[in-house]
Amino acid sequence: MTTQYNVPDFFACKVFDEQTMRSRLSPEVYQSLKRTIRRGARLDLSLANAVASAMCAWAVENGATHFTHWFQPLTGITAEKHDSFINPAPGGRVIMEFSGKELVRGEPDASSFPSGGLRATFEARGYTAWDPTSFAFIKDKTLCIPTAFCSYGGEALDKKTPLLRSMEALNKQALRILRLFGNEDVTRVTTNVGPEQEYFLVDREMYLQRKDLIYTGRTLFGAKPPKGQELEDHYFGSIKPRVQAYMDDLNEELWKLGILAKTEHNEVAPAQHELAPIYSSTNVATDHNQLTMEIMKKVARKHGLVCLLHEKPFAGVNGSGKHNNWSMATDTGANLLSPGGTPYENAQFLLFLTAVIKAVDEYQSLLRLSVATAGNDHRLGANEAPPAVISIFLGDELSAVLEAIETDSPYEGAAQKKMKLGVDALPRITQDTTDRNRTSPFAFTGNKFEFRMVGSGDSIACANIMLNSAVAEALKQFADDLEGAADFDARLHELIKENIAAHKRILFNGNGYDDSWIKEAVEERGLLNLPTTPDAMSHLLDEKNVEMLLSHGVFKESELRSRYEIQLENYTRTVKIEALTMLDMAKREILPAVESYGASLARAMADKTGIDPALVSVYEKKASADLSHLLDAIDGAADGLAQAVEKLEGAGDITAQAFLIKDEIIPAMEALRKPCDEAETVVAQKYWPFPTYGELLFGV
């Protein structure tokens, strides 16, 4: 790092952003590009050519030699195929060129990406199309152009396409509501997201000694260390120098890419940390979060570290999530989830708030399944992260306001009077009292909702697609109703009242980790408890869900079917790899280690017996017998797991396979882990074949 370290000087230096565009494009080209972006229209070719040529010149000046259409296929990571800018020139020379056609459209071979059956019915080829709402950037020596990825039949093969569609759906319905409140100057409503990203850092040398971390990103074995997170001395604690150096480097890389990395701190578990950016539009936030995860891993390597983004790298230690802070804002700068100062603003706020409540209640299953992965199944409901039951935390004050409206009773907090929407102002909601229920999956935090169920390794796209769509649907129903009302104020009041009454079962301010809550939620309130991915996924194709997503143009039915397949395929493959890794480690590392130590004890006992049997200690006899039992237990459990895995072959379709994983393979994995972890506590340290939890968690 240089002595003149001035962040504004290099912030976004690798991004072809507005400022760069303005300085590199002619005023006419710049203006028409901006118009196209704003209207979400297609670029015409002459405009595209002008933009491409300016982009190329800028990229080459900044060290790029290649370009790629950067997209987010359903594998969960980003994809890129590099082409160089090189074009032949007379005299055997080359020039660096990039055409509008290359900028606007690419044709990667779609057959190597998951399509969940869409490939069979449509052409193997797919195409990528530039999303000009997310800026191009340089990564390594490549100009990356954020794109959407579709099949030739127009089916989305990625996460960006439905995300953009869901933002559009919400925009359309929110504008209808705003017009009803006499708001004519707003032309666009965008959803904004600030995703807080949790992660673990472990030493790379140790990581390389563990096949489970290498193949699956999480530990599949490991006894509890003497010290875990019980002292809670890590959270917000001072950051160790090696970690600080990593964070500094990471921030610098992210800032160059125009990513607003803002906060960094230690998390609850040892070796766990968090990074939060400043929020941006959902589309950009999603792209940036994907990039952030990639850069986090890359920078870690430089520091001899490995960044683990798995939701549950260590059993018995808190896992990692991603808090998806979400709000809706107008292009005139108003946050629609911010309580207002005037009676009308208040009524509008309460209507949007009620829409979110209705959306979350009616589409619980979609929100739950949007975060369903094999990794996240270990985290949700494990008393460290939100339960698998969705509920909303509003805080006492706002809850009291809603209750007063619903029951037409005086609101205690204010001047002891009944609230008439559109006439009375809301009592001021003090920010402090709205947050800090960490156990809630979906919490109102003053002017935004925080959806806390997203897994740390997952894209935030899926969660936001479902959230945007569900809220768009609620707003649509409200707009349909209110547009036909004879007396707007009266109907508004009634509508909010009715919806509070209909959906208040989803509101819960108590402790979400409490077992009694799950019981109450399911038995008394009829809320859904979907603990695993196969449980949750079965709801994607529920008639009500399909109808809603289709009606807002967010998905086509074929796309939903394909996504159902792909998500369960990902689940099944992930767990199968874990099971095979466990078998490999158990048979080739753990059993031999237990056997060696047992054999050395046996040899020592035989030697002693030769001299004098009385020399053999009780410890030797006992440990030797324990180790023999453990050998058999491990061997038996490994056989059990192997048999369960074999059943996958003939299990039938993907749904049947996923349930076999859940009902038989995962329990067999747990059964194998138990004796192995027990062996770790008995076998001498120098015999143990890989670094322990203690070493991994406290080794940096």
Residues 588-617 contacting Mg ion, CB under 5 A: none
Q: Does 183 bind ligand ADP (CB under 6 A)?
A: no
Shortest CB 538 distance to Mg ion, Å? 31
H or E segment to which residue 127 belongs: strand 126-130
Shortest CB 435 distance to ligand ADP, Å? 6
| Contact stretch for ligand ADP (CB under 6 A) within 209-217, 271-279, 397-405, 537-545 | 271-279
HSE-CB at 391 with a 13 A cutoff on CA atoms is: 30
Print the binding letters for residues 343-372 with ligand ADP: x by CB under 6 A, - otherwise.
------------------------------
Q: Does 277 bind ligand ADP (CB under 6 A)?
A: yes
Residue of the chain from 145, 276, 566, 586 that contacts ligand ADP (CB under 6 A)? 276
- CA-to-CA distance for 227 and 50, rounded, in angstroms? 61
Q: Does 279 bind ligand ADP (CB under 6 A)?
A: yes
| Contact stretch for ligand ADP (CB under 6 A) within 113-121, 187-195, 455-463, 596-604 | 187-195
Interface with ligand ADP: number of residues (CB under 6 A): 15
Residues 321-340 contacting Mg ion, CB under 5 A: 323
Written in H, E and C, the secondary structure of 417-432 is: ECCCCCCCCCCCCCHH
220: β partners: none
Closer residue to Mg ion (CB): 323 or 368: 323
| Contact stretch for ligand ADP (CB under 6 A) within 113-121, 325-333, 547-555, 669-677 | 325-333
Shortest CB 353 distance to ligand ADP, Å? 14
Shortest CB 199 distance to ligand ADP, Å? 15
Closer residue to Mg ion (CB): 160 or 323: 323
Closer residue to ligand ADP (CB): 96 or 268: 268
Q: CB–CB of 537/628 below 8 Å?
A: no
Closer residue to ligand ADP (CB): 281 or 538: 281
Shortest CB 425 distance to ligand ADP, Å? 21
Closer residue to Mg ion (CB): 11 or 326: 326
Q: CB–CB of 54/175 below 8 Å?
A: no
H or E segment to which residue 272 belongs: strand 272-277
The partner in contact with residue 478, picked from ligand ADP, Mg ion, none with C-beta cut-offs of 5 to 8 angstroms by kind, is: none
Closer residue to ligand ADP (CB): 138 or 259: 259
> Within 10 A of 640 (CB to CB), how many other CB atoms are there?
16
Nearest residue (beta carbon) to ligand ADP: 194
Residue of the chain from 102, 131, 158, 196 that contacts ligand ADP (CB under 6 A)? 196
Which residue type, as a one-letter code, is found at position 89? A
Give per-residue burial for 44-72: e unless 16+ CB within 10 Å, then b. Answer: eeebbbbbbbbbbebbeeeebebbbbbbb
Shortest CB 260 distance to ligand ADP, Å? 8
Q: Does 335 bind ligand ADP (CB under 6 A)?
A: yes
Residue of the chain from 100, 194, 319, 455 that contacts ligand ADP (CB under 6 A)? 194
* Residue-wise DSSP of 576-618: HHHHHHHHHHIIIIIHHHHHHHHHHHHHHHHHHHHH-GGGS-H
Distances (CA, A) of 347 to 1, 405, 418, 427, 444: 52, 11, 14, 12, 17
Q: Does 198 bind ligand ADP (CB under 6 A)?
A: no
| Contact stretch for Mg ion (CB under 5 A) within 63-71, 319-327, 332-340, 560-568 | 319-327
Q: Enumerate residues 6+ apart whose C-beta is below 8 A from 317.
A: 228, 229, 269, 270, 272, 693, 697
Sign of CA dihedral 118, 123, 128, 131: negative
Residue of the chain from 89, 94, 278, 615 that contacts ligand ADP (CB under 6 A)? 278
Q: CB–CB of 423/489 below 8 Å?
A: yes
- CA-to-CA distance for 451 and 464, rounded, in angstroms? 9
Closer residue to ligand ADP (CB): 198 or 559: 198
- CA-to-CA distance for 466 and 545, rounded, in angstroms? 10
Q: Enumerate residues 6+ apart whose C-beta is below 8 A from 318.
A: 229, 267, 268, 269, 272, 384, 385
Shortest CB 6 distance to ligand ADP, Å? 23
SS3 695: helix
The partner in contact with residue 273, picked from Mg ion, ligand ADP, none with C-beta cut-offs of 5 to 8 angstroms by kind, is: none
- CA-to-CA distance for 47 and 30, rounded, in angstroms? 9
Residues 520-579 contacting Mg ion, CB under 5 A: none
Closer residue to ligand ADP (CB): 435 or 677: 435
Shortest CB 325 distance to Mg ion, Å? 6
Q: CB–CB of 421/489 below 8 Å?
A: yes
> Within 10 A of 414 (CB to CB), how many other CB atoms are there?
17
- The phi, psi pair for 66, rounded to 5°, reads -130, 165
Written in H, E and C, the secondary structure of 132-179 is: CCCCEEEECCEEEEEEEEEECCCCECECHHHHHHHHHHHHHHHHHHHH
The partner in contact with residue 335, picked from ligand ADP, Mg ion, none with C-beta cut-offs of 5 to 8 angstroms by kind, is: ligand ADP
Closer residue to ligand ADP (CB): 367 or 582: 367
| Contact stretch for Mg ion (CB under 5 A) within 11-19, 279-287, 318-326, 638-646 | 318-326
- CA-to-CA distance for 574 and 578, rounded, in angstroms? 6
Q: Does 327 bind ligand ADP (CB under 6 A)?
A: yes
Print the binding letters for residues 430-459 with ligand ADP: x by CB under 6 A, - otherwise.
---------------x-xx-----------
The partner in contact with residue 269, picked from ligand ADP, Mg ion, none with C-beta cut-offs of 5 to 8 angstroms by kind, is: none
- CA-to-CA distance for 477 and 464, rounded, in angstroms? 20
Written in H, E and C, the secondary structure of 21-77 is: HHHHCCHHHHHHHHHHHHHCCCCCHHHHHHHHHHHHHHHHHCCCCEEEEEECECCCC
> Within 10 A of 646 (CB to CB), how many other CB atoms are there?
10
Shortest CB 196 distance to ligand ADP, Å? 6
Print the binding letters for residues 273-312 with Mg ion: x by CB under 5 A, - otherwise.
----------------------------------------
Closer residue to Mg ion (CB): 322 or 378: 322
Q: Applying CB under 6 A, which residues contact ligand ADP?
A: 192-194, 196, 276-279, 325-327, 335, 445, 447-448
Q: Applying CB under 5 A, which residues contact Mg ion?
A: 323
